Structure 1
Amino acid sequence: MKLTLLSLGLLSSAFAVAPISTAQQATQASPYVPNAYIIELSGSGAVARRSLSPVYDVMRKQAIEFSIDQEYDAPDILIGAAIRLSDVAKLSEIPGVQAIRPIKRPVSLLVVKDPKASGLPDTYSTHVMTGVDKVHAQGNFGAGIKIGIIDTGIDYTHPLLGQGFGPGFKVIGGWDFVGNNYNGEDTPQPNYDPLDQCNGHGTHVAGIIGASPNNTFGISGVASDASLAAYRIFGCTGFTTDDIITAALIMAYNQKMDILTLSLGGASGWTEGTSSVVASRIAAQGRVVTVAAGNNGAEGAWYTSDPGGGLGVISVASVDNIASPVQNATVEGTYFMPFPLNVTGAMPIYATSTNTSQVDDACNPLPDSTPDLSGYIVVVHRGTCLFTQKLANIAAKGGKVMLIYNSDTGGFSAIAVGGYKAVLISAEDGKFVIDRLRTWQLVQQFIDKSKITVSFPQSGGAFSIPNPSGGLISSFSTIGPTFDMQLSPALAAPGGNILSTFPLALGGYAIESGTSMATPFAAGAAALILKALGTGPAVGAAVPRILQTTAASVASTHTDGEPLQTVAQQGAGLVQVDRAVNMKTIVSPGQLALNDTANFKANHTISITNTGNKTVTYQLLHVPALTVGTVSVSTSLRAWTNAHNVPSVIPAAATIAFSGSNVTVHPGTTKEVVATITPPPGVNTTFPLYSGFIHVVAPNETLKVTYLGVAASLIAAPVLDSTSNYFGIPLPTLIDASGRPQEGPENYTFTSSDFPFFLFRLAFGTPKLRFDLVSKDIALTPTIPSKRSAFTWWWTQNAAATFGQIKTIGPLVEFDYQPRSTDDPLSGYGTAGFSGTFANGTRIDDGQYRVLLRALKIGGNPNKEGDYESWLSPQFGVIAPP
């Protein structure tokens, strides 16, 4: 795969009436690092390593200025380098360069401070719901298994994380690739010490895997005896880039980590990103790789993260826990915190409003009549604005301790309060306090001169309450699959509001939510399996299948009779570690990717191996899950609207016929069964995802195979949004230097801010998106019409039958494997800034031109002209500046 990226930059910043003023701003807003690429060399081993120097020599002879950020030396994984240069077109012509991939940014930590899902799981209850407690009872705590944590580093001084670094400690090693000050934009400052005392995310992850038990908080790592290595790729704040992720993956692989875990990701939807490809190759070598699925459940289906989309990688969804640990306050209520609020003595209450229906309470500055609040517990209602905005207004009047009472519909879960001393209490407790306060205000002048007070016991106040959404998929958990129909997420683990370790400088303990928390849990589960079954490559490669075939399917609701949650969000279901460790039957494969109707395969062979010492008769059953419509298509408007929150449920399911519904398997032997799957009929107008499970039932255990397909042909899915739904103007469009859609021919000097931008949305992913410069008089009927063109347009699926044969003047840019846009009003679109040069950096001659935009449809043949959508820009002129 050869890519070029230079004169155009995809942006995610908000579009305004005024234009983005400079090309530099456009570059900074791009999801790619400017002029930065990962090159991969052909061959492997010593041959490829020797090839790096000749490549550099050729670049120097051609006067290509470049710098080297990283070099990758892992035979069978990646031989290459991360480099910066301005003329990438010439690089693609150098012998031995097999692939060129732009370096993506940002890649973020996948943690949710205020999830919509209810409930705060405690560590012990997560072990109970996944069978970890049963494996621990067998004496298995993962001793001898090495887990590489690619994250923000670890505060290894924490008493639950070994209080040391290096051989003989819990954290046996690692590397800091970036330094404290790195934020994703500046230059990394690597060093040997991956200590994190300023971010906390990696320390939280480390505690979920390996926290030592027998502590006052009841925290216990899933694999508390495992050895950890910290590969720090984030600074104290900000994000990271995939060249650094790739370097960390390769170092962890070369240092013989049994398991690599990454609680991070960026929107992708594909299996082809650099870090996904590298993670796939590592998994193929028999190492276990767990990656967060993402926290974008509200964005609907087809929104998987990179590198979680890698083949063989365990992409992990989040499940809400069954219990919520809280703390008691003396006003007959609870507050949402894992340990007591650090307030001693009783304090009087002050309410910013006694109207419990006022949800914008304290969103504005408090009135001048507000007393000094430094001696009060301040009670404020949740709603409308950010928590930190309310708390800042209270702090401006001296407030130091705040209770935020929940709305009737808000989830009782961890909240983001910045640096303020504040906790969430329930709606009922808040109304109770306000009611008492109102009563006191009415009678105080006649009867009671005292004040209502609240105190916070510093010991003995902890207990657990049931979580109403416990055992269900967290609403924030990303919905898949990948655009190439790979199952992502692969499975699920507890991830909703997990209590774990945190840097001592930041309090020592914290509650976090996200697939970031589910991912290390899955890594710990894998460690227990490796400890029980062995650490060889064959076992490591089998771990994804083992976890999938022994997982527990997750319901869509707690209502009896409702179907199971779609596989697109739960994967194979919630990990059951005791079943995985103690299974007597091997079922293969763990998952079936049925693809779309154009590439559908009906017959699938399932093998059943009896590893026990008795003959077993197995029964095969089909258990369907939800069928969900993922989009809404209006043929009259060619509209494509992404699903929001919960995709629409379709009352239809696949049917499965088995070659034998009962199969007898003798000890030590294997039998095969053919499952013939028929997709649900008559539902292809919404590109529905259908899914479910094939259960293999023995008298003492049940295993399963997970399947997922789409009951439509994905090549029919529109890629370029051609409606006016988002901005109120038809898309794509060309934005002139004044920030308005270009209506007729215009000239540009390409100096200062005098250049155009292309504004577009990707309604679906595309494996290839490219811009080419063409003549203003090109004879072409694109698939997407433009009202501002001198041509007469019509659209049809085959209208692009000749554009590939039309001569182009030169390429401007090509982006491969692009995700779809979201419906976010601030970032749900893309722009491409045109700098007046070709992809190789040479200036375009003065003249009149158009730009041809092409997007390859899902499943399309890149060499087949009819498989692209196309759009022509209005005419514009390139003129020399005066």
Structure 2
Amino acid sequence: MSTAPQTQVDRVHRELKITGKDIVVGVLDSGVDYMHPALGGGFGPGYKVRYGRDLVGDDYDSDRGTNPKPDPDPLDTCGPKTGSVGHGTHVSGIIAGKSNNFTGVAPDAILGMWRVFGCSGNADDDVIVEAMLDAFDTGVDIISMSLSDPMSWSESLTAVVAERITSKGVAVIAAASNDGERGAFTVGTPSVGKGVYSIASFDNNYHFVTIFEISNSASPQDKKSYGNITEKIPSGEIVAGDIHLGSDVDACDPKTIPSTVKGKVALVQRGTCNFIDKANNLADAGAIACVIYNTKDENLIPAAENAKIPLVGVQNEVGTAIINEMKPGATVKITFFDTPKAKPEPTGNTVSSFSSIGPAYELDVRPNLAGVGGNVFSTLPRQLGGWGTMSGTSMATPGVAGAVALVMNAWQQNNGGQKPSPQFVLEQFQNYAYKAPNKNGEHNVDSPNRQGAGLIQVYDTIQESVHISPATISFNDTEHLQKVQTITITNYGTISASYQILNNVSVSIVPYNNTSNGRYNFSEPAVYGEDTAELVFSQTTVILDPGAHVDIRITVIPPDTNPAEHIMYGGYIQFKNTDNEERRDLTVPYIGIVGNQRELPIYALGTPDLTNSTNITHYPAYGPEDVFIFDRHQSIMTKQELKNVPIFMMTLDNPTRVLSTPLYNEDNVMIGFAAFKNDTINFARSTSSTPAQFIWWDSLIPSFKDSEPPAITSVAPGKYRIGLNALKWFGNPDNPEDWETWTSSVIQVR
């Protein structure tokens, strides 16, 4: 289960004897069980976990509005009943865990833990920023943040702070986010900050599975073993869960469930009704568990935590094999084993399906690097079992943080203790990263918008002496095309190097699923194409003497596609080694978009809406002639409840950096701007998981007359309208044509 061979960490430990000794990695997370044997057994001077504090306490959750209760000890004491999963302990083990049976990426690094999450829930930006600044002031070398807000503007608060910390010489490593199934432009902040390491996830080459065995009374010696289910269910006889087993409506109608399921495990096919309905219908008929097999030859992981009986999913081929055992007169038993086993992962060494897809909203290359985050085994708090497997860019991020510690350790050994800049280390990782195909078995290269420069290769990053800067290129969109760009290749080694320069194109991304009606709905998941750009190089070969550098100009010719489709092209400029079998190739990822992002609509058709509800599926909308009665004496405005408050529901087809909120009196004369309780800057585009965003007005208005910054006052009773004017993507705030405008119906304030 170790990810070390995929990232060459094993070679760094074994051949170079580099373990990250004395490099300090500050972690912002949910606390850490530092009493775990692999994490040092204590906290403070002389221990592995040496720095940090708890900024929030166990009960803190920004979503519930609970107040932080800080204390100086970052220990995770949350038990399983609190909803805690031991996230901070897991990432800490990935970075620097060390025991007889487990080795983290940088086992001799020093850790700090700044606890910003309670036992469950989320954290406000001000808590995260305070932790970042405290870690920086403590003197850490690296900050690792397995956290993300699904918004890709680099001007967001945490992204700006991360950018400034990085500029001061501390590498900030942040998760790209886990919204890959939602399509393009889903990389989150703070990873979109300038200079910040934005980390995508690759799948582990192996994953743990629960093994189960099928036995047939007609041939008791011929037992067949299977695996890859997500939950253990009771062992026992398995029977057909529907009289028409193998139909799309298996167990959807209680009338078609045979009485023979009573006291037995029932097998049904996926289809028509949801998993819980199938399981509950079978439970009502007396079944003790339900196995659902997929309609396709792929893994099935049903989300049915509230079913009446245990429910698991298996592959189509496994379900078919069980059916083949169900011959007339035969008794088929299913037996589950307690000890999980490691099994090859079909998607191993490719980008995880959950890993968010870039680029950043400013079209910077994000993510810019990848670690292994799918099915990662590491430490857990002792009260949660001590060890376990998790998946996410949250797991890839500490793996890269540990790798940065190894590179810093090696650099200091070879340069008299001198510390490399975060930018140089990032570029060196990017130069020598591994590029994966879009899927295993395909003869292509995945998009930089998914894998950035690719999966880290730590040994090559340390050993290779040729370097390219900048290490990524964005040609931007067609309207703002940066057609000619320059990169510099430098030989810091002691022997000459020569390369052939090639354009290694990647798959393209078709971001929208329908543009014919002038609306732009993102494809979820992303759709891939074969549209490629041509690159013209100022020279196609390069020879570098020791200490020499050469500037290479690259001119792009974007693919000839319909600009209305906004095709996202990309690839890798490959410097192919031609003179030394031991020397590695270098690559520089590039991206671009055919089309003008400024022309894209911001608001989805039919929104915004003025309402009094945050129920996305059912809310009353106030039309142009309606009047919203806002009685402030009867209103409630808390994070838990909004009552009798003007609420604005918006579905954003595309992101907007600024939402202007002009306030009009009943004569439609603008009298200022409405002040909202939540921000009106840096909005993310909507997804199927967050189809709408809400802001609400509590009758406040900034007054610029007597103070700077402006004082906030309440409007007098009366009738008002509020505008929500969204700045178009790359729009000029001073150009009225770059705003999408909307004005509410009358709001009568009492």
TM-score bucket (shorter structure): 0.7 to 0.9
2:649 is aligned to 759
Between the aligned partners of 1:638 and 1:314, the Cα distance in structure 2 is: 36
Matched, 1:710 2:593: yes
Verify the 8 A CA contact 1:501 1:509 in the aligned structure 2: yes
Instruction: Indicate the SS of the match to 1:168.
Output: coil
Shift of 1:390: 7.6
Between the aligned partners of 2:302 and 2:47, the Cα distance in structure 1 is: 34
Matched, 1:768 2:633: no
Shift of 1:377: 6.9
Instruction: Indicate the SS of the match to 1:174.
Output: strand
Matched, 1:204 2:90: yes
Verify the 8 A CA contact 1:642 1:823 in the aligned structure 2: no
1:253 is aligned to 136
Distance 1:386 1:527, change over 3 A: farther
Matched, 1:679 2:679: no
Between the aligned partners of 1:393 and 1:536, the Cα distance in structure 2 is: 67
Matches within 5 A, 1:4-19: none
CA deviation map 1:371-426 (0-9, x unaligned): 996xx7777766778878888898999999x6745424375487778699887654
CA deviation map 1:560-587 (0-9, x unaligned): 443x222111111111112111112111
Between the aligned partners of 2:58 and 2:612, the Cα distance in structure 1 is: 41
Please point out which of 615, 623, 628 is paired with 1:742. Answer: 623
Please point out which of 209, 219, 223 is paired with 1:326. Answer: 209
Distance 1:506 1:425, change over 3 A: farther
Shift of 1:257: 1.6
Distance 1:381 1:214, change over 3 A: farther
2:423 is aligned to 541
Matched, 1:615 2:496: yes
Shift of 1:151: 1.0
Q: Which amino acid aligns with 2:66?
A: D
1:277 is aligned to 160
Between the aligned partners of 1:559 and 1:640, the Cα distance in structure 2 is: 32
CA deviation map 1:777-821 (0-9, x unaligned): 54xxxxxxxxxxxxxxxxxxxxxxxxxxx8544434461111112
Q: Which amino acid aligns with 1:188?
A: P
Between the aligned partners of 1:336 and 1:194, the Cα distance in structure 2 is: 36
Please point out which of 453, 461, 473 is paired with 2:351. Answer: 473
2:81 is aligned to none
Between the aligned partners of 1:333 and 1:879, the Cα distance in structure 2 is: 69
Please point out which of 313, 335, 339 is paired with 2:227. Answer: 335
1:144 is aligned to 22
Instruction: Indicate the SS of the match to 1:204.
Output: helix
Matched, 1:132 2:9: yes
2:237 is aligned to 349
Shift of 1:362: 7.5
1:528 is aligned to 406
Matched, 1:626 2:626: no
Between the aligned partners of 2:611 and 2:310, the Cα distance in structure 1 is: 47
Matches within 5 A, 1:24-43: none
Q: Which amino acid aligns with 1:694?
A: I
Verify the 8 A CA contact 2:228 2:314 in the aligned structure 1: yes
CA deviation map 1:232-276 (0-9, x unaligned): 111111111111111111121122221111111111110111111
**TM-score, scaled to structure 2:** 0.84
Shift of 1:532: 1.2
Verify the 8 A CA contact 1:493 1:518 in the aligned structure 2: yes
2:519 is aligned to 639
Q: Which amino acid aligns with 1:750?
A: D
Q: Which amino acid aligns with 1:833?
A: W
Verify the 8 A CA contact 2:627 2:748 in the aligned structure 1: no
Please point out which of 465, 470, 487 is paired with 1:584. Answer: 465
Distance 1:359 1:473, change over 3 A: farther
Q: What is the number of equivalent residue pairs in this alignment? A: 696
Between the aligned partners of 1:179 and 1:590, the Cα distance in structure 2 is: 41
Verify the 8 A CA contact 1:654 1:680 in the aligned structure 2: yes
Verify the 8 A CA contact 1:348 1:452 in the aligned structure 2: yes
Matches within 5 A, 1:82-121: none
**TM-score, scaled to structure 1:** 0.72
Q: Which amino acid aligns with 2:13?
A: H
Verify the 8 A CA contact 1:146 1:257 in the aligned structure 2: yes
Between the aligned partners of 1:210 and 1:639, the Cα distance in structure 2 is: 48
Q: Which amino acid aligns with 1:683?
A: N
Matched, 1:878 2:743: no
Matched, 1:495 2:365: no
Matches within 5 A, 1:838-877: 838-839=701-702, 842-874=713-745, 876=746
Between the aligned partners of 2:202 and 2:108, the Cα distance in structure 1 is: 25
Identity of aligned residues (%): 31
Matched, 1:304 2:187: yes
Matched, 1:688 2:553: no
Instruction: Indicate the SS of the match to 1:266.
Output: coil
Q: Which amino acid aligns with 1:831?
A: F
Distance 1:255 1:845, change over 3 A: closer
Distance 1:735 1:171, change over 3 A: closer
1:33 is aligned to none
Verify the 8 A CA contact 1:348 1:454 in the aligned structure 2: yes
Between the aligned partners of 1:681 and 1:654, the Cα distance in structure 2 is: 8
Matched, 1:226 2:109: yes
Please point out which of 674, 685, 689 is paired with 1:811. Answer: 674
Shift of 1:863: 2.5
Between the aligned partners of 1:380 and 1:527, the Cα distance in structure 2 is: 50
Between the aligned partners of 2:186 and 2:624, the Cα distance in structure 1 is: 34
Between the aligned partners of 2:463 and 2:654, the Cα distance in structure 1 is: 43
Instruction: Indicate the SS of the match to 2:89.
Output: helix
1:485 is aligned to 363
Between the aligned partners of 1:754 and 1:435, the Cα distance in structure 2 is: 61
Shift of 1:732: 2.7
Verify the 8 A CA contact 1:403 1:425 in the aligned structure 2: no
Between the aligned partners of 1:605 and 1:684, the Cα distance in structure 2 is: 26
Distance 1:326 1:744, change over 3 A: closer
Distance 1:398 1:500, change over 3 A: farther
Q: Which amino acid aligns with 1:514?
A: G
Matches within 5 A, 1:359-374: none
Instruction: Indicate the SS of the match to 1:272.
Output: coil
Between the aligned partners of 1:213 and 1:194, the Cα distance in structure 2 is: 21
Verify the 8 A CA contact 1:533 1:539 in the aligned structure 2: no
Distance 1:285 1:747, change over 3 A: closer
Between the aligned partners of 2:281 and 2:33, the Cα distance in structure 1 is: 33
2:59 is aligned to 181
Instruction: Indicate the SS of the match to 1:238.
Output: coil
CA deviation map 1:179-228 (0-9, x unaligned): 2222222011212222224321112212222232542xxx4322222222
Q: Which amino acid aligns with 2:296?
A: T
Instruction: Indicate the SS of the match to 2:657.
Output: strand
Shift of 1:666: 0.7
Instruction: Indicate the SS of the match to 2:191.
Output: coil
CA deviation map 1:749-789 (0-9, x unaligned): 534365544333222111110221124554xxxxxxxxxxx
Farther off after superposition, 416-425 or 676-685: 416-425
Verify the 8 A CA contact 2:175 2:200 in the aligned structure 1: yes
Instruction: Indicate the SS of the match to 2:590.
Output: strand
Farther off after superposition, 571-580 or 502-511: 502-511
RMSD, aligned α-carbons: 3.5
Between the aligned partners of 1:579 and 1:593, the Cα distance in structure 2 is: 25
Between the aligned partners of 1:550 and 1:353, the Cα distance in structure 2 is: 53
Between the aligned partners of 1:508 and 1:372, the Cα distance in structure 2 is: 38
Distance 1:348 1:733, change over 3 A: closer
Distance 1:398 1:536, change over 3 A: farther
Farther off after superposition, 283-292 or 837-846: 837-846
Verify the 8 A CA contact 2:144 2:172 in the aligned structure 1: yes
Distance 1:278 1:394, change over 3 A: farther
CA deviation map 1:651-707 (0-9, x unaligned): 432221111111111112222222222222343212222211111222321011111
